Amino acid sequence: MKSYLILLLFLLSPFIILGQDNRSVSLFDCLKKAREYHPYYLDKQRLEDSRNLRNKNVSTMWLPQLNLNGQATYQSDAIKIDIPFPGMNIKGSPQDQYKVTLDVNQVIYDGGSARAQRKITNATIDADLQQNESDVYKSNEPVTSVYFNLLIMQKNKEVYESTFEDLKSKEGKITSGVKNGILLQSDLDNLKVELIKTKQFLDDIEIAIKNGFDILRMLTGDSLINSSRLLVPEVNFQLNDSINRPEIKIFDLQQKTLEESKYLSVSQKMPKLYAFTQLGYGRPGLNMLKDEFQSYYIVGLKFQWNIWDWNKTQRDKSIYSLQQDMVSSKKDAYVRNININGTNELTRIQQLENTLKTDEEIVTLRKSITIQTEKRLDQGIVTMSDYLSEYNSEVKAGIQFETHKIQLLQSKINYLIIKGIL
């Protein structure tokens, strides 16, 4: 059974390799992989972990706070009682004093500080997550650029391969014409020169395509993208006045963070109530007249209210309001730039649509001219140089037509990326 499986894998391996080499790749798959492969992509989970840790830190504000304190002092004077009492020996408090205390403080009411701090934490993390999404979203632009450049180069390669085969098929016919004295040797030489130039174009395109796929692999992290067949994307293109870019949400979340900061500033001025306990051991204890080490404790409530902060809270609120105004200005400027870029891309789309209409007419006319020139070449009326000139014009017209079609698709995709729709 093991030998049979090895033999089966050996027989199927060429088909498996062929399937991998000829697999198709779509633009949208590349965009998805590029986002997931982006160095910042894993930061999303790190930011969420940071949110949880920060919120846990905020929650500790409601847990008892424990402080261990120690102190040793020597003072120049101390309590002394010089009045003698029969049967009693009162020394007074010592001049060297020692104490160790454990202080426990429990917040009962914090004026809303913890709640405001938690809201600021969540708003800040949300803004950081949206900034991360913006950074990752920007990977769409280089991937789209490389992908469409590859589409254009692959289309050029197809055209030049067809051109090479077409010229190669004419080589025998021209050679025969030279032997029969119908055509000149220079005609054959011109054809051979054109074949060499076409081969040079193909070699250059091959190198450019390889480089393009190398870059695409680096952007997507997909090592299997190797001269794969790129699918021409189907675009559901619609004009859209709305902007769904992640940067817009960043500005909104920054506004929210500043608004929560106002509430935190106010809450810090609100009254606060604490319960406290102090456990101590030292000399003297609470009885200052007893010159010996003893343990003690104190329990109680503490009230704190900053009734006057010299208008610091009001100034802080004004600062946050000014920062909100600046964020609004940045948002307005960003929206304006997006609209300008979108308008420019729409203009390019309209230009390409108009160009394609004339391109199609030019290609039809160029093919007709080439056919007529070829007939005249067979009749010896024109030279091979004249024919190749018209033939190259037809090839260039065809390449321009195919290139403009791909560029139109690219402009539509760019418009969707600019608007944040894709």
Strands 229-230 and 272-283: unpaired
Give this prediction's pTM: 0.81
Residue 89 has pLDDT above 60, yes or no: yes
For residue 408, the number of C-alpha atoms closer than 13 Å in the C-beta half-sphere is 19
Cβ atoms 88, 232 nearer than 8 A: no
Per the DSSP assignment, residues forming a β-bridge with 109 are: 273
| Topology of the domain covering 64-109+272-304 | Outer membrane efflux proteins (OEP) (2.20.200)
Structure tokens, 280: 């101590």
Residue 90 pLDDT level (bands cut at 50, 70, 90): low
- pLDDT for res 69: 95
- pLDDT for res 20: 44
Say how many Å lie between the first and final Cα of the chain, rounded.
51
Q: Could you report the per-residue pLDDT of 389-404, keeping only the tens digit for each?
A: 999 999 999 999 999 9
User: Measured between alpha carbons, how far is 108 from 113 in angstroms, rounded to an integer?
Assistant: 12
For residue 318, the number of C-alpha atoms closer than 13 Å in the C-beta half-sphere is 5
Per-chain mean pLDDT for the chain:
88
Q: Could you report the per-residue pLDDT of 178-237, keeping only the tens digit for each?
A: 888 777 888 889 999 999 999 999 999 999 999 999 999 999 998 888 766 889 988 888
- pLDDT for res 13: 43
Residue with tokens 């051991």: 281
The ranges assigned to domains in the chain are 25-62+111-270+314-419, 64-109+272-304
In CATH, what is the architecture of 25-62+111-270+314-419? Up-down Bundle (1.20)
